[in-house]
Structures are given as structure tokens and as C-alpha cells.
Amino acid sequence: MGKAEKRAGRFTVYGRVQGVGFRYSTVQRAQALKLAGYVRNRPDGSVEVWAEGADPALDSLYAWLRRGPSMARVDRVDRDDFAPTGNYRGFSVTY
């Protein structure tokens, strides 16, 4: 895969997304999609996701984030696209 095919996305997920296993489900999904980055809770009750990888994988993650795990209720997902930083080797929960 060439560098031109890699992208990064910052996703902010709003709704009932804390205390429902959202971060750990996101890690599993992102790892399955071979994405690098992190997921973390934000003080306002939302969840932030930074992911780097292939465009189709980012699109797939975005579609999944709009549903989330079964206990979650997703109201909205904001997405901003960026050039990848290359700073991440895996995908994990950060605090």
C-alpha cells in the first residue's frame, strides 16, 4: 500500500457511549481493520477516535461507529479527515 492510499480520521461519537464497552469494542473493530490509533473518553461524555490506515478501512470504521456496540446509543458521529502522522503502530485505549 502506498502512502497516498493511507489517511487518518478523527471521529467524535456522541450519545450513550461511555460505560457501555464502546472503547474496547472500538479497539477490536479497528484492529480487525488493521488501523492504528487510539480511542478515549472525553470529559463531555463523548468518545474520541483517531485512526490511521487505508481509506476503505476508515470508511468501514466510520460506518461501525455510527452503530456502536449493542449497549450503546449513538446520536451523532463527527468526522474530520487528515494526513496520517505515522506515530501509531497499533490501536489501543488511551486515557
CATH of the domain at 19: 3.30.70.100
- Active-site residue, selected from the candidate residues 10, 40, 41, 66: 41
Q: Is the pLDDT of residue 4 over 50?
A: no
- Cα–Cα nearest to 54, from 88, 92, 9: 9
The pLDDT value recorded for residue 77 is: 98
47-63 per-position pLDDT tens digit: 999 999 999 999 999 99
Average pLDDT over residues 54-78: 97
Classify residue 19 by its DSSP letter.
S
Quote the pLDDT of residue 5: 79
**CB atoms < 10 A from the CB of 17, how many?**
26
pLDDT, tens digit, for every residue of 12-23?
A: 999 999 999 999
Among the options 23, 40, 66, 76, which is catalytic?
Answer: 23
Whole-structure pTM value: 0.93
Q: Which of 2, 21, 9, 1 is nearest to 88 (CA)?
A: 9
Mean pLDDT of 9-14: 98
**pLDDT at residue number 23:** 98
Active site residue 41: yes
3-state secondary structure of 32: helix
Q: How many whole angstroms separate alpha carbon 30 and alpha carbon 38?
A: 9
Structural domain range at position 9: 3-93
